Structure 1
Amino acid sequence: DVYIYYGLTNFYQNHRRYVKSRDDRQLLGEIKGSTECAPFDKSGDKWYAPCGAIANSIFNDTFKIQRYFDKTTPKTIPTTDSGIAWATDKNAKFRNPKIPDGQKNLSYAFVDTIHPPNWQRNVWELKPSDPNNNNNNGYLNERFIVWMRTAALPTFRKLYARVSHNTNENDISYHSSLPKGNYLLVVEYHFPVAAFKGTKRLIISNTSWLGGKNPFIGVMYIIVGCVCLLLSAIFVFI
């Protein structure tokens, strides 16, 4: 499998006030938020949907990876954001408000709400390429769910998409890898990082039966092993 991640540095999702700035009851389908979300709880008499600092600061850059099959015409690599969130999160922690009887559009479930200040679209418009897919829209949008799981460290990466397994272009399969060739990365820049002196990056990786590539764990094992070896040597000669 080929996975696409975005990474941020110097972004403290683990700050105590930031972590608390959400309303889990609202994310389970209630319209109203709570004062825990302040100052991102409501504007006038309308609640932000979703409320809180975590939701308000969602990463909203978009990426497309294109491959050149000839020198002039790149074609977009098929990707999907379905299946990128933890199943336990999507099934147990997030639920859209009930759509009124006789209606099908998710917007009717969010009447009398407004989008957070930093958002450019409403919560029911998070999947513009498939607006009628209510299972990956609103609070059930998987990129939103991934963002709402706060990172433990200020340098982190989060899953953005994975390469689709059900599409071939020009008889080239993308089932397990991206074939050797020339690629173009198209970025729509919406998420500023200068204000918190951070950086952002895009990571393309694959997985094995051991999971994804993450050198941090290996480095930590080496450091802990060296410390244990040093301490054992000290205890032997003391």
Structure 2
Amino acid sequence: MAMNYNAKEEEGGGHHSGVGPGAALKSKKPDNTAFKQQRLPAWQPILTAGTVLPAFFVIGLIFIPIGIGIFVTSNNIREYEIDYTGIEPNSPCYKCSNVSLNVTPCTCTINFTLDYAFESNVFMYYGLSNFYQNHRRYVKSRDDSQLNGDKTSLTSPSKECEPYRNSEGKPIAPCGAIANSMFNDTLRIFKISNGDEKEITLTKKGIAWWTDKNVKFKNPTGNSTDLKDIFIGTSKPINWQKPVYSLDPGDQDNNGFINEDFIVWMRTAALPTFRKLYRLIERKDAMYATLEPGNYSLLIEYNYPVRSFDGRKRMILSTISWMGGKNPFLGIAYITVGSICFFLGIVLLIIHHKYGNRNNSADIPN
């Protein structure tokens, strides 16, 4: 008893250290509430044949029609793709069909035929394969403050941009590996009719996200309205053929850091095989298809080499639906999950019908 008494005295003395006589003791006991005392009502599902089997059948009956609808919708999207990887400067176009190669500049004309009409607006993409835009150092190699128009970052870019931070003693604008590797092939489409070629109008604006165009990317401001004067003292990216203020000199709303081709490229892809929106072909007359069946030609000005990383390049024409572009994976996934659930429901129903009564009779005493 003495030992217990002394222990309580020590505990009380330790609890009262620094507290004057008559002070109220602080209890460590949780408040008497339903949450802290764990008296909240609980629910635990009891899995029985009467609840599990209907769930499997309901999931199957819901998922399978949804998957079929999504799959059919995806297949109804018109899409045409041309792989023009074989075109390299100073090399034959042996991988292309119906191709003529000019020496200077390196251009290639690929003739193709559309067997069906593209009724609604057509989205023109360029696609790259084996290009890892998701590499950690590559994704970090940019200066968002510079791209947002900050003058300090324009003259002193972030160290994350190394080794594409300075060139010839001048800061690079835009800096970083992402900007330095910007896609710069030029693609044009012509409609061939009775031996004559008519160029298809390609819309270059409206291809970037609104938040990117109006929030994340801004040109730096200065005393001059000429972007060339504002970017004076900076250098173009090493792999670029022209400076950032000459990306679209004829349209100041699409030039510099707010150039939409540049903005689209700066939004990095998650997978090594990807496509990015290049141009829009808008439907002008509801009575006629945007691209009618017939013969066309694709004129490519080749500037972007891909052999160094064993990549491939593609041009894709595609329409869209309420679910976006062509993507059969979602429909296949719904159908697969629904079919598995429906099949398991049938299997479990057979097992329950065959062995369920036997288990119930075994529980009854003689």
Among 254, 263, 270, the residue aligned to 1:145: 263
Q: Which has the higher helix share?
A: 2
TM-score normalised by the chain length of structure 1: 0.85
Unaligned runs of 5+ in 2: 1-120, 352-366
Tell me the SS of whatever aligns to 1:80: coil
CA distance in 2, matches of 1:217, 1:2: 22
Q: Which residue of 2 aligns with 1:158?
A: 276
**Aligned-residue identity in percent:** 53
**CA 194–68 in structure 1, closer or farther in 2 if over 3 Å, else same:** same
**Alignment correspondent of 1:7:** 127
Are residues 4 and 35 of structure 1, via their aligned partners in 2, closer, same or farther at CA, if it must alter by over 3 Å?
A: same
Q: Is contact 2:283–2:290 with CA below 8 Å preserved after alignment?
A: no
Unmatched tracts of structure 1, length 5 or more: 167-171
Where 1:182 maps in the other structure, the secondary structure is: strand
Moved over 4 A (4+): 172-176, 219-237
> Are the counterparts in 2 of residues 61 and 190 from structure 1 also a CA contact under 8 Å?
yes
Judged with a 3 Å threshold, the aligned counterparts in structure 2 of structure 1 residues 193 and 229 are, in CA distance, closer, same or farther, namely farther
Q: 1:147 to 1:176 in 2, by over 3 A?
A: farther
In 2, the alpha carbon distance for the partners of 1:6 and 1:207 equals 16
- Is 1:78 paired with 2:201? yes
Matches within 5 A, 1:165-180: 165=283, 177-180=290-293
| C-alpha displacement of 1:120 | 0.3
**SS where residue 130 of structure 2 aligns?**
coil
Q: Determine the structure 1 residue equivalent to 2:236.
A: 115
**1:90·1:140 contact (CA, 8 Å) conserved in 2?**
yes
Measured in 2, the distance between the counterparts of 1:27 and 1:232 equals: 56
Higher strand share: 1
The separation in 2 between residues aligned to 1:67 and 1:11, in whole angstroms, is 31
> Which residue number corresponds to residue 305 of structure 2?
192
Q: Contact (CA 8 Å) 2:282, 2:290: kept in 1 or not?
A: no
Paired residue for 1:203, among 316, 334, 337?
Answer: 316
The residue that corresponds to 1:169 in the other structure is: none
Rg larger in 1 or in 2? 2
The alignment of Structure 1 onto Structure 2 pairs a total of residues equal to 227
Tell me which of 36, 44, 48 is aligned to 2:160.
Answer: 36
CA displacement 1:144-171 (0-9 Å, x = unmatched) = 00000000000000000001456xxxxx
Q: Report if the CA contact (8 A) 1:165-1:174 is conserved.
A: no
Question: Which AA in structure 2 matches 1:215?
Answer: P
Q: Secondary structure at the match of 1:162?
A: strand
Provide the residue aligned with 1:58 in structure 2: 182
Shift in Å, 1:174: 9.7
2:170 corresponds in structure 1 to 46
How far apart, CA to CA, are the structure 1 residues paired with 2:286 and 2:189? 15
- CA contact 1:46–1:113 (8 Å) conserved in 2: yes
Whole-angstrom distance in 2 between the partners of 1:96 and 1:41: 18
- Alpha carbon RMSD of aligned pairs, Å? 2.6
Alignment TM-score, normalising by the size of structure 2: 0.57
